[in-house]
């Protein structure tokens, strides 16, 4: 069964975008990032992606079909379907999901088969997954950078603690990859 993996890159002080809503400082060398062991493993094990509208709109959506790391079905969490649909291919398709995170995850799991569902953000999408209890693992890539202010990843999570278990640390040049499993609370 597919695992749901939340993946984000953030600064050491917890920001996924700076005060100007830019992620440029977090991704100074995209080619180097693409060649890391952690991202290559994620690409191999991902069968579908859930993406927030904000993350989708950060680049040219038409370019995804040629250059996006994950050439798999993408389920875009949004309030409204855009008038013009982006380019798609046999492998990379877009499904616009307007009825919430539960539905997006359910559709992505069906498309992923035995592979994982990777949730790539933005912050709101990751927060919704965490608060709804939909995440199995959290993969956080820490950049050696203090942004000071901006968009925080771990806000709006409610008052209940979310317990995680560290399962792996991967050191790559210029980034530390932290892997956590979400503790499932037994009902006994």
**Residue ranges of domains in the chain:** 4-182
The pLDDT value given to residue 39: 83
The H or E element spanning position 180 is strand 175-182
Within the chain, which residues score under 50 in pLDDT? 186-188
Note the pLDDT of residue 114. Answer: 95
What is the three-class DSSP state of 117? Answer: strand
Q: Would you say 51 and 59 are in contact if contact means Cβ atoms under 8 Å apart?
A: no
**Nearest to 37, CA basis, from 170, 180, 138, 141:** 170
- State how far the Cα of 135 lies from the Cα of 6, in Å rounded to an integer: 7
Distance CA 171, CA 105 (A): 29
Containing H/E element for 138? Answer: strand 137-143
CB 20 within 8 A of CB 132: no
Strands 175-182 and 137-143: what pairing? antiparallel
Render pLDDT for 87-115 as a digit per residue (tens, 0 to 9): 999 999 999 999 999 999 999 999 999 99
pLDDT in tens, 33-43: 777 778 888 99
Domain range 4-182, CATH class: alpha beta
Give CA separation, 5 vs 46, 50, 66, 126, in Å. Answer: 9, 10, 24, 10
For residue 186, the model assigns a pLDDT of 46
CA 65 to chain centre: 18
Separation CA 151–CA 23 (nearest Å): 10
The first and second tokens of residue 6, run together, are 């939340």
How far apart are alpha carbons 156 and 89 in whole angstroms?
36
Q: How far apart are CA 172 and CA 35, in angstroms?
A: 10
Q: For tokens 């317990």, name the residue.
A: 163
Percent of the chain's residues with pLDDT above 70: 95
Over the stretch 156-168, which tens digit does the pLDDT of each residue have? 888 888 899 999 9
pLDDT computed for residue 97 by the predictor: 96
């Amino acid at each position: 069964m597919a695992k749901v993996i939340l993946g984000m890159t953030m600064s050491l002080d917890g920001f996924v975008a700076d005060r100007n809503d830019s992620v440029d400082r977090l991704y100074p060398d995209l080619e180097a990032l693409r060649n890391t062991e952690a991202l290559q493993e994620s690409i191999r094990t991902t069968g579908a992606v859930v993406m927030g509208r904000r993350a989708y709109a950060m680049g040219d959506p038409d370019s995804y079909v040629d250059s996006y790391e994950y050439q798999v079905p993408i389920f875009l969490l949004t309030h409204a379907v855009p008038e013009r649909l982006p380019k798609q291919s046999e492998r990379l398709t877009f499904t616009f999901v307007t009825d919430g995170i539960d539905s997006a995850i359910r559709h992505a799991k069906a498309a992923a088969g035995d592979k994982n569902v990777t949730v790539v953000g933005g912050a709101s999408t990751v927060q919704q997954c965490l608060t709804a209890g939909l995440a199995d693992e959290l993969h956080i890539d820490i950049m050696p950078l203090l942004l000071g202010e901006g968009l925080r990843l771990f806000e709006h999570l409610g008052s209940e603690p979310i317990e995680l278990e560290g399962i792996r640390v991967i050191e790559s040049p210029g980034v530390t990859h932290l892997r956590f499993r979400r503790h499932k609370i037994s009902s006994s």
